[in-house]
Structure 1
Amino acid sequence: MIQRSLIDQLTAEARAGGVQQLVVGAVVANDGAILLLRRPTDDFTGGIYELPSGKVEPGEILDEALSREVKEESGLDIGEITSYLGSFDYTSGSGKKSRQFNFAVTVAATEPVILQEHDEYRWTPITDEPPVTDAVKGVLARYREEIVA
């Protein structure tokens, strides 16, 4: 499980760096594949695949937001947060400086995946070159190095 001190440190560093929006993302794995969700084409960065992810609400801490977002976006329940996989910064659709903190997680069950905010999902073999942004590719490379290796 992720230590509270790490969560507090990550949050403090982001705020000190002028980050306006905190976001969490999860690498959900199942039998050598990872869960990717496709954004609707009419959405911000529509058509791309991404990790289950979303905004941290006011008053929420990172691990709570991660559990909520994975549930909202995939219908899956996090069993455990096993590793911190780094972060990346980007500008949100509303122009906010955002930082996405990424974690490897286990889930209680991998099916059924129930989509509410995306139009498609896929389990992509971790050995494949997934159709994601370069930032997410970096997170997956770290996942391969730390978890799969």
Structure 2
Amino acid sequence: MIERLVPHDILDSLDKYDRIVVGGIISVAGHDDRVLFLKRSKHEFMPDAWEIPSGGIEEGESMLKALKREIKEETNLEVFDVGGFVSAVDYLAKDNKCLQLNFNVCCRGDVQLSNEHSEFIFSKIDSFVNNLDDFMLRVIKPG
């Protein structure tokens, strides 16, 4: 249960949101301190934006199950450890109040992107921040 990693005040506020999203700041075995960034495909919402794997929690799904499912769907990687809670970032999408909960995640496997993304890169966060929008900067909290 990764819910125990999320601060209580954030957990207590989840009912204020229309949609809860989980995201993984992924490090992969053998890639030292670099994390995985995905570039959204041109036909997707926010085309060409760099992001981390993320997606909504489905009805009856735990945060951990949703995080594992989304990472598998978007990257084909297997989650083997969730290291900790990183951030909670709220936003509006199609008039829905959303909250994205982000976790440090260790994965294994070879990246195979879904059609949602066109590229990926493993990079140190501090050397990649110029490629990220304000939302992603709030998600990863660099520095």
- What's the counterpart of residue 99 of structure 2? 99
Partners of 2:112 and 2:73 lie apart in 1 by: 9
1:28 equivalent in structure 2: 26
Q: Give 5+ residue unaligned stretches, structure 2.
A: none
Counterpart residue identity of residue 97, structure 1? K
Residue 123 (structure 2) aligns with:
124
Q: Deviations over 1:29-61 (max 9, x none)?
A: 232211011111222111101001111111111
- Aligned partner letter, 1:141: K
Which runs of at least 4 in structure 1 moved beyond 2 Å after TM superposition? 4-12, 138-142
In the superposition, the TM-score normalised over structure 2's length comes to 0.85
For the Cα contact (< 8 Å) 1:7–1:62, is it kept in 2? no
1:126 Cα deviation from its structure 2 partner = 2.4
The residue correspondences of 1:130-149 to structure 2 (distance < 5 A) are 130=129, 131-141=131-141
Q: Matched residues in 2 for 1:39 and 1:61: separation? A: 26
Higher strand share: 2
CA distances 1:42-85 after superposition (whole Å, capped 9, x unpaired): 22111101001111111111111001101110000001111000
Structure 1 length as normaliser, TM-score? 0.81
Mark the CA change 1:129 to 1:8 in structure 2 (over 3 Å): closer, same or farther: closer
**What percentage of aligned pairs have identical amino acids?**
30
**What's the offset of the Cα at 1:26?**
0.4
RMSD between aligned alpha carbons? 2.0
- Deviation at 1:25? 0.5
Counterpart amino acid of 1:76?
A: L
Describe the SS at the equivalent of 2:80: strand
Deviates more, 1:80-89 or 1:129-138: 129-138
